Amino acid sequence: MEIIRDIFQYVPLPFVVAWYTIGVIAAYLFVTGIRRHIRAWRQGKPETISGTPLSRLTRLIYVGIAQARILDKKYNGTVHALISIIGFLLLAGMFFPILQIIVGYLALLFGAGLILLEYKRLRATGPSLETAWEDSFVFGVIVAMAVSGFLMMGVNTWAWPSPAGNALSPIFAPLGPKVLVELYPTLFLIHSALVFSLIAYIPNSRLMHLIASPLNTYYTPITVKGELTTPFDLKQMMETGNFDVKVGATEINDFTWRQKLGFDACTLCVRCSDACPAKASGTKLSPMHLILKLKNLELQAPASGRRLHGDVVDPEELWACTTCRACVQECPVLIQHVEAIYDMRRHLMAEGKVDKKKRDLITFLANVGNTYGLPSADRMKWAEGLDVKLWGEEPNQEFLYWVGCAGSYDTRNQMVSRALVKIMKAARVSFGVLGNDERCNCEVARRVGEEGRFQQTAMELNEMMNKRGVKKIVTQCPHCYNTFKNEYPRFGGKFEVVHHTQLIAKLLLDGKLKLRKDAEKTITFHDPCYLGRYNDEFEAPRAVIRALLPKMLVELPRSRTKSFCCGGGGGNTWYTVELTKKCSVIRLEEARQLAPNILAAACPYCISMFEDAAKILGTSENMPVKDIAELVAEALE
């Protein structure tokens, strides 16, 4: 049986002509608008997208169509997912008669969903949801579209059978067939005109996300989260002698076409800015606004060469970023905010336009191999009296214990180093340290944009560690962990890298450690950004805490992927950022609400930040900050 639907039945020729005219104009506006965007994207640098088409398509279905990322907000997320799926089906209903059967029901759900969300938006319950007259206008048009659709269906229930139409038709029936036949074409045209105008409006409004967002979700590369992009290959440049590379982004077309598509994909949902610790602490950075500035720039003048820094982006916004990745994690359309920030930081560093503290940081790394500027000969002072063997001093050493700059020089973190040594010795783990041969792996140099220094250090350290037979590395710093695990392989070093909480968890599992169970204390754990969000390791520290059997392991309101950054990453520890309230203070206040006995951490930056905040808030006595290793070392029998 052939399903036919003559949509022009009862529509006289003038109306059909008008329908096609409006449709063609709308289609023209839509197409030219989209082409303008595509042209703008293509002016960006070339990029080959990594990740197979199939894996990206799967991700598109999961993130783009099922909208998995927004489902954490039960109300908004579910309703938005429903109405967007239904919206597309309704549109498809125009072309596929088979959908006709359910269009009526869908339209009702669509209208209901819209009203639910608009209600929420007008009440503006979100902290920073930005609404403008444009949003109300769009909502108004969509509502008018839905209402005119219901009226149309009410008048012509034969062509458009639907529950809404059936419900409305008794209102119209008394008018009599002659009036209805005259009324119908007008309603049909009005409804169609509203649909067409919305379509034409898409390229010029935030509705552009209907096109750009799925595209961006498909074209965002599949990469390792913890690895930055590599803007140049230092080794190759040294070999060829060709250093003619523009480093970093100074104007909009220094970004790739995929990055520009990403800026365009922003739906203004504000999830990124709501999650951003730099924004919460009152710095100039707001991830969404940064992306929108870039988005506006490319639409205004794609080839103008207008400079980013100073004109459009304030360098302070870029430096305020702690690189915690909360924004990228939250974004439902997979925009890569932090990647853009790195590109712009790289330019500032290449020009040398950075303040004294940042210059000092790089100078210290270059001259003494640590971030503190302390004497290179003092690197092993933390181990005095501990009988720590050097790598190679004993046969059959399993782990290289990478102490890190903080573990070596920071008096607070030296306590963690000593605790970890105690644990490894108790469990008879055979390890060695590089001693004075250890120098900063320059992860932080890469984060502030000094890519060359990072690459050279990576090559040198990899060569040294390979030559000396290093296979496994254990470290107490998630930043060191991340860079060795995810970034160093590209530069010639592939090691099995373990964070100390992972090692301790494994030792406990294997029964190699005997702990006194302390049943009395409650502990809350702060997930470090570079261990949790970047490397998906949430369970190991929790397994260790549970092994200590506190009365309760209480979860912070923002934990795991939602963890709120301590504020120390991205180089922020080493320079001054203007803010109103430190991230660490915000986080400690959050922890204090739970009134735990101990705030547990697993990163030298976090501990350093929290110790400062504890002094400010006066919580050092009733809620001390402890590293996981310290808790275990104290509990060793």
Partner 1 sequence: MRNMPNMIVLAKQVFYTQDLRIDRTTKKLKTEGVARVISESDKNAIEEAVRLKEKHGGKITVLTMGPPEAKEALREAIAMGADEGYMLVGPEFENSDAHATAVSLAAGIKKIGQFDMILCGETSEDQYSFQVGPRTAEILNLPQITYAVKITLQDAKVLVDRNLEDCYETVESKLPVFVTVSREINEPRLPTLMAIMAASKKPMTAWTAKNIGLQPGELGRQGSLTEPVRSAVATGERKRVMMEGEPSEAAEKLVTTLVGEGVVKVT
Which residues in this chain contact partner 1 in the complex, by CB under 8 A?
Answer: 232, 234, 237-238, 241, 243, 245, 247, 349-350, 352-354, 356, 358-359, 362-363, 366-368, 373, 375-377, 436, 450-453, 456
Instruction: Give the integer Cα–Cα distance in Å for 335 and 217.
Output: 8
Q: Which residues contact 331 (CB under 8 A, 6 or more apart)?
A: 69, 271, 272, 337
- The C-alpha angle 482, 488, 494, rounded to 5 degrees, equals 100
Q: What is the dihedral of CA 208, 209, 214, 215, to 10 degrees?
A: 50
113 within 8 A of 121, measured Cβ to Cβ: no
For partner 1, which is the closer residue by CB, 153 or 365? 365
Q: Measured from the CB of residue 360, what is the shortest distance to partner 1 in angstroms?
A: 9
For partner 1, which is the closer residue by CB, 443 or 450? 450
Amino acid at 634: E
Helix (H) or strand (E) holding 472: strand 472-475
Q: Measured from the CB of residue 414, what is the shortest distance to partner 1 in angstroms?
A: 20
Q: Measured from the CB of residue 418, what is the shortest distance to partner 1 in angstroms?
A: 25
For partner 1, which is the closer residue by CB, 236 or 396? 236
For partner 1, which is the closer residue by CB, 436 or 561? 436
For partner 1, which is the closer residue by CB, 233 or 590? 233
| DSSP-based three-state secondary structure for 307 | strand
Q: Which of 492, 397, 475, 479 is nearest to 438 (CA)?
A: 475
Q: Measured from the CB of residue 457, what is the shortest distance to partner 1 in angstroms?
A: 9
For partner 1, which is the closer residue by CB, 358 or 499? 358
For partner 1, which is the closer residue by CB, 254 or 451? 451
352 phi and psi angles, rounded to 5 deg: 75, 15
Instruction: Give the integer Cα–Cα distance in Å for 14 and 413.
Output: 81
For partner 1, which is the closer residue by CB, 326 or 361? 361
Q: Measured from the CB of residue 549, what is the shortest distance to partner 1 in angstroms?
A: 47
> What does the DSSP assignment read for 359-411?
HHHHHHHHHHSSTT---GGGTTGGGTTS-PPBTTTSTT--EEEE-HHHHHH-H
Q: Measured from the CB of residue 359, what is the shortest distance to partner 1 in angstroms?
A: 4
Instruction: Give the integer Cα–Cα distance in Å for 292 and 489.
Output: 35
| Site of tokens 């805490």 | 545
Handedness of CA 456, 460, 465, 471 (dihedral sign): positive
Q: Measured from the CB of residue 441, what is the shortest distance to partner 1 in angstroms?
A: 15
Instruction: Give the integer Cα–Cα distance in Å for 104 and 95.
Output: 15
93-104 burial, b for 16+ CB within 10 Å, e for fewer? beeeeeebeebb
Q: Measured from the CB of residue 252, what is the shortest distance to partner 1 in angstroms?
A: 23
Token pair for residue 260? 């520009």
Q: Measured from the CB of residue 52, what is the shortest distance to partner 1 in angstroms?
A: 33
For partner 1, which is the closer residue by CB, 264 or 450? 450
For partner 1, which is the closer residue by CB, 163 or 375? 375
What does each C-alpha distance from 591 to 241, 526, 538, 563 come to in angstroms? 53, 9, 18, 12
Q: Measured from the CB of residue 377, what is the shortest distance to partner 1 in angstroms?
A: 6
Distance in angstroms between the alpha carbons of the first and the last residue of the chain: 81
